[in-house]
Amino acid sequence: MLKEFREFAMRGNVVDLAVGLIIGAAFGAIVTSLVDDIIMPPIGMLLNGVDFTDLFIDLSGQGYASLALAQEAGAPTINYGLFVNAVIKFIVIAFAVFLLVRAMNRLTRKEEIKEEQAPPAPDPVLESQQRLTEAIERLNTNLEKRGA
């Protein structure tokens, strides 16, 4: 059973999946930083200094000054600012994946075009048959000349 597991784990698809997950996690951290630290601050500044991570609706009606205070008190909240951040992160990731897939499709198309443009290699068996046929025809022609 251990041998089967080792064979399964070392199969190309499993290793590729593991590498993809690790790179995906690292990419997620980069996107989070991009959205939280680069994209959202200027947007918040344009909207009179709004910090999107602190936008929430306090369902308890206590009027907490920040989301952190409401969460400390255990108050129920609707965190729509965090949701906006998550939507922007999704859009950034989706766009990055789109660009990656688009690039891969272009490379694939270029390879297909090269394959279509390349003339097919001559079949060595057909070439040999053609030469044999031509040799037989020459022999027949020579035999006919001698017999005539």
Q: What is the CATH number of domain 2-147?
A: 1.10.1200.120
Segment 14-20 long-range contacts (CB within 8 Å, at least 24 positions apart): none
Q: What is the mean pLDDT of the chain?
A: 85
**73/75 Cα distance (integer angstroms):** 5
Per-residue pLDDT tens for 77-95?
A: 999 999 998 898 889 888 8
Q: Where are the domains of the chain?
A: 2-147
Per-residue pLDDT tens for 131-144?
A: 888 888 888 888 88
